[in-house]
Amino acid sequence: MARVVVDVMLKPEILDPQGKAVHGALSRLGFDGVVDVRQGKRFELELEGDVTEERLAEVRKAAETLLSNPVIEDYTVRVDQQ
């Protein structure tokens, strides 16, 4: 089995109210020096067998179709070396 990780983040120009809330909470708790917080999503896909280029292409397609909304989000796909 192999694990592929898909990270999804709001595009830089899209407002992230959740990130702002977390940032505010960090400041209140005394975690100083944090200039900004953006909150994203991490998906861990467990795949059957080995990771092939073909497989990764499928994962990218899934990331583009369902896991992210390309209008507001960017994604990255990487193989998790366990």
Partner 1 sequence: MKVGVVTFPGSLDDVDARRAVTIAGGEAVALWHGDHGLRDVDAVVLPGGFSYGDYLRCGAIARFAPVMTEVVEAAKSGMPVLGICNGFQILCESHLLPGALIRNDHRKFVCRDQPLRIESTSTAWTSRYDEGAVVTLVLKNGEGGYVADDATLDRLEGDGRVVARYLGGNPNGSLRDIAGISNERGNVVGLMPHPEHAAEGLCGPGTDGLPFFTSVLQALTAA
Q: Is there a contact between 78 and 3 (Cβ–Cβ < 8 Å)? A: no
Q: Is there a contact between 4 and 45 (Cβ–Cβ < 8 Å)? A: yes
At 54, give phi and psi (nearest 5°).
-60, -45
- Binding residue for partner 1, selected from 1, 12, 17, 81, defined by CB under 8 A: 17
- Determine, following the binding rule CB under 8 A, whether residue 20 of this chain makes contact with partner 1: yes
CB of 11 to partner 1, least distance (A): 9
- Binding residue for partner 1, selected from 34, 52, 61, 69, defined by CB under 8 A: 69
Q: Which is nearer to partner 1, 13 or 32 (CB)?
A: 13
